[in-house]
Amino acid sequence: MALMVVGYQIRQIDLMTKRLEGMVAVITGASSGIGAGTVYRFVEEGASVIAADIQEEAGEALAEEFGKSVVFIKTDVTQEEQVAAAVDLAVEKFGRLDCMFNNAGIVGVVGPIADTPTEDWDTTIAILLKGVFLGCKHAARVMIPQGSGSIISTSSTAGILGGLGSHAYTAAKHGVIGLAKSVASELSEHGVRSNAIAPGNTVTAMTATVTTGDHKKLEETAEGMASRSMLGIAGQPEDIAAAAAYLASNDARLVNGHVLVVDGGQTTSGGNNRFIKSGPGMLREAGKWDRY
């Protein structure tokens, strides 16, 4: 228990209370990486979750771990009807929608601007930015009449600085921040908050592919990230999940239109252009690498 001063009164707060008890969330990109870490954290905090992802086998396996608390739905976030179906499933199964976590993403097309295929640019933008737009759109149609809700969208430190991601990735992640703020300005009057999270280097299959060439080398990836971190710590999916849980909870009731940077101080030191100088190619979900 802890004591908190409110005006001239002191009230007790149970620090062990599950902050998301009774809440319902849709998490896109839920089958692996940050998405899977957030599913674990949200369920631990008491939420029911619709896990939406294009990776069907991994998503089904994740849902099986939690029984009735998690329901998987195969979702391509570039397809509006599939995003809408994930939102509808939340209402059908659990009766409401308290949090929409627009998290699905890929690194996408990498390489110099002059060598970037337009088709792969379009695919990257569709997943990283259009997918967030669709999540916001369909969350809003449920949350506005409900009079409450939290929309969280995954940006990146590449949405803060140039030189930390590829051209398409950087453009999209900057766009996510702008969209999160714009949505906040509209939906605030309906009791709906919109925020973005900007993760720094985080250990996932995708970043393992980037740093080691093998999506399975998570431990080696973590060691490398820790050695380059200002804090000597490798970011893990659970670090981003903790930020998402905070933004989804009533603890963040006054946090709106904000970008929560979770990077150990990475954005204080600038970018290194590694995604522009590398490639060319297309880095897809779960570290799948298509070279040209």
pLDDT band, residue 209 (cuts 50/70/90): low
Catalytic: which of 150, 156, 194, 249? Answer: 156
pLDDT band, residue 284 (cuts 50/70/90): low
d(CA 80, CA 131): 8
d(CA 89, CA 81): 12
Mark out the alpha helices in the chain (DSSP H runs). Answer: 33-44, 56-66, 80-94, 118-125, 131-146, 167-187, 205-212, 218-228, 237-248, 274-277
Q: What is the pLDDT of residue 216?
A: 73
CB 238 within 8 A of CB 274: no
CB 30 within 8 A of CB 49: yes
Least reliable range by pLDDT among 47-56, 75-84, 265-274: 265-274
d(CA 207, CA 222): 10
**Mean pLDDT over residues 157-186, rounded?**
96
CB 127 within 8 A of CB 79: no
pLDDT band, residue 261 (cuts 50/70/90): very high
Residues in CB range of 88: below 8 A, 6 or more apart: none
CATH placement of domain 21-291: 3.40.50.720
pLDDT band, residue 219 (cuts 50/70/90): confident
Cβ-based burial of 1 (10 A; exposed 0-12, middle 13-18, buried ≥19): exposed
156 part of the active site:
yes
pLDDT digits (tens, 9 = 90+) for 123-136: 999 999 999 999 99
Q: Count CB neighbours of 241 within 10 A.
A: 25
- Collapsed DSSP state (helix, strand, coil) of residue 17: coil
Q: What is the pLDDT of residue 237?
A: 87
Q: What is the pLDDT of residue 115?
A: 93
8 part of the active site:
no
- Collapsed DSSP state (helix, strand, coil) of residue 157: helix
Residues in CB range of 137: below 8 A, 6 or more apart: 80, 83
Catalytic: which of 150, 155, 166, 173? Answer: 173
Does residue 230 surpass a pLDDT of 90? no
Does residue 246 surpass a pLDDT of 50? yes
225 against 139, higher pLDDT: 139
Does residue 10 surpass a pLDDT of 50? no
Q: What is the pLDDT of residue 269?
A: 66
pLDDT digits (tens, 9 = 90+) for 55-77: 999 999 999 999 999 999 999 99
257 against 285, higher pLDDT: 257
pTM assigned to the model: 0.85
**Mean pLDDT over residues 251-262, rounded?**
97
Catalytic: which of 48, 130, 153, 169? Answer: 169
Least reliable range by pLDDT among 80-84, 109-113, 206-210: 206-210
Q: What is the pLDDT of residue 283?
A: 61
d(CA 46, CA 161): 35
d(CA 286, CA 54): 11
**Mean pLDDT over residues 239-258, rounded?**
96
pLDDT band, residue 5 (cuts 50/70/90): very low
40 part of the active site:
no
